[in-house]
């Protein structure tokens, strides 16, 4: 009886794990959307954890133009004037640091999980 219970418990655990795993897999395949505000010469937040396929939108809330540009040059929002925004879908190459080409002390980081 105890053996059966243990087996049932094991089966239940595996089933639960599988369901949870499926949910997690499903969650990862459902792209998320993130917003990074550019305000007072800062990227807010300046660090973001994302998955491939998610979308990041940079919104410039400053009076002057900015960019979000990969340090290695792989991707770029190009110039964002006041109140303009640009969305980019996260790809494998987007992990790492980025900055504003016009104001190089402005820095942000993307971490792909």
| CB closer to another protein out of 55 and 76 | 76
Between 66 and 94, name the residue whose CB sits nearer to another protein: 66
Query: Cβ of residue 38: shortest distance to another protein, in angstroms?
Result: 12
- Candidates 10-18, 48-56, 60-68, 89-97: pick the segment binding another protein (CB under 8 A): 60-68
Rule CB under 8 A: say whether 83 interacts with another protein. Answer: no
Distance in angstroms (rounded) separating the CA atoms of residues 14 and 32: 28
- Cβ neighbours of residue 40 under 8 Å, at least 6 residues apart? 62
Residue 48 phi, psi (nearest 5)? -140, 135
Of 50 and 66, CB closest to another protein: 66
- Is 73 an interacting residue with respect to another protein (CB under 8 A)? no
Q: Please give the full DSSP string across 8-60, using - where no structure is assigned.
A: HHHHHHHHHHHHHHHHHHHHHHS--EEEEEEETTEEESSEEEE-TT-EEEEEE
Instruction: Answer yes or no: are the C-beta atoms of 90 and 56 closer than 8 Å.
Output: yes
Min dist. Cβ of residue 101 to another protein (A): 8
Please tell me whether residue 59 binds another protein under the rule CB under 8 A: no
Where along the sequence are the contacts to another protein (CB under 8 A)? 40-41, 62-65, 82, 101-106
């Amino acid at each position: 009886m105890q053996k059966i219970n243990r087996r049932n418990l094991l089966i239940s655990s595996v089933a639960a794990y599988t369901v949870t795993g499926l949910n997690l897999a499903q969650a990862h395949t459902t792209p998320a959307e993130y917003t990074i505000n550019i305000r007072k010469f800062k990227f807010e937040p300046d660090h973001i954890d994302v998955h491939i396929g998610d979308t990041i939108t940079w919104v410039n809330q400053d009076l002057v133009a900015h960019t979000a540009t990969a340090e290695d040059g792989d991707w770029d929002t190009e110039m964002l004037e006041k109140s303009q925004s640009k969305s980019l879908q996260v790809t494998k190459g987007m992990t790492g640091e980025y900055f504003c080409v016009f104001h190089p002390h402005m820095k942000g980081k993307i971490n792909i999980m």
